[in-house]
A = this chain, B = another copy of it.
Amino acid sequence: MAVLHHSLDFILSSPVDSASTVPSLLSIFHEQEMTETVHDTKGHGYLATLVGKHGRLALLRVHSHGMVTIDLQCYQEDSVAEVDNLLNALEKKLKALLSGNIKRFKRLPALIRGAEVDRYWPTSDDRLIEYDIDQVLYEEDSAYQNIQILHSKQYGNILVLNGDINLADSDTAYTHAIMGSGKESYTGKEVLILGGGDGGILAEVVKQKPKMITMLEIDQKVIDGCKTHMRKTCGDVLDNLTGDCYQILVEDCVPVLKKYVQEGRMFDYVINDLTAVPISTEPEDSMWEFLRLILDLSIKVLHPSGKYFTQGNGVNMTDALTLYEEQLEKLSCPVGFSKEVVCVPSYLELWVFYTIWKK
Contacts and interface: CB of A to CB of B under 8 A. Distances in A.
A37 B349 CA distance: 42
A44 B37 contact: no
A173 to B, nearest CB: 7
Contacts of A40: 51
A301 B127 CA distance: 46
B127 A111 contact: no
Nearest to A67: B114
Nearest to A37: B37
As for how many copies of this chain the complex holds, the number is 2
A111 B132 contact: no
A314 B71 CA distance: 29
Contact of A111 (B1, B7, B55, B59): B7
Contacts of A67: 1, 3, 113-114
A126 B109 contact: yes
A128 B128 contact: yes
A25 B317 CA distance: 35
Given A47-B57, A350-B345, A315 B154 contact: yes
Given A39-B49, A44-B54, A170-B350, A108 B132 contact: no
A122 interface: yes
A45 interface: yes
A41 interface: yes
A67 B111 CA distance: 15
B41 A55 contact: yes
Interface string A129-152: 111100000000000000000000
B127 A132 contact: yes
A343 interface: yes
Contacts of A131: 127
B42 A154 contact: no
Interface string A115-126: 000111010011
B41 A39 contact: no
B104 A118 contact: yes
A53 interface: yes
B113 A69 contact: yes
A125 to B, nearest CB: 7
A296 interface: no
Contacts of A316: 132, 153-154
Contact of A114 (B69, B125, B170): B69
Contact of A128 (B44, B61, B109, B349): B109
A155 B128 CA distance: 17
A11 interface: yes
A9 interface: yes
Contact of A59 (B57, B109, B130): B57
A217 B127 CA distance: 35
A106 interface: yes
Nearest to A68: B114
B65 A49 contact: no
A335 interface: no
Given A154-B314, A154-B315, 5 more contacts: A5-B7, A69-B113, A106-B120, A127-B131, A127-B132
Smallest CB-CB A-B distances: 4 pairs: A44-B55, A127-B130, A128-B130, A343-B345
26 contacts: A1-B65, A11-B114, A37-B39, A39-B49, A39-B51, A40-B51, A42-B53, A44-B54, A104-B114, A104-B118, A106-B120, A108-B111, A108-B128, A109-B122, A111-B111, A127-B130, A127-B131, A127-B132, A128-B128, A128-B129, A129-B129, A129-B348, A132-B316, A153-B316, A154-B314, A154-B316
